[in-house]
Amino acid sequence: YAIADTNWALDYFRRSSDHRLLFGGRASYSALQPPGLHGNMRRRMRRVFPQLQDVDFDYLWGGNLAITANRAPDFGRVSHNIYYAQGYSGHGMAVSGLAGRVIAEAIAGQAERLDVFGRIRHLPFPGGRLLRTPLLVLAMGWYKLRDALW
User: Tens digits of per-residue pLDDT, 111-131?
Assistant: 999 999 999 999 988 899 899
pLDDT, position 87 = 92
pLDDT, position 36 = 83
pLDDT, position 49 = 92
Nearest CA to 143 among 5, 34, 9? Answer: 9
Interatomic CA distance for residues 52 and 67, integer angstroms:
30
pLDDT, position 121 = 94
Asked if residue 57 has pLDDT above 90, the reply is no
pLDDT, position 63 = 74
pLDDT, position 92 = 85
The mean pLDDT value for 49-59 works out to 90
The mean pLDDT value for 3-32 works out to 83
At 18, is the pLDDT very low, low, confident or very high (cuts 50, 70, 90)? very high
Query: How many Cβ atoms from other residues are within 10 Å of residue 94's Cβ?
Result: 16
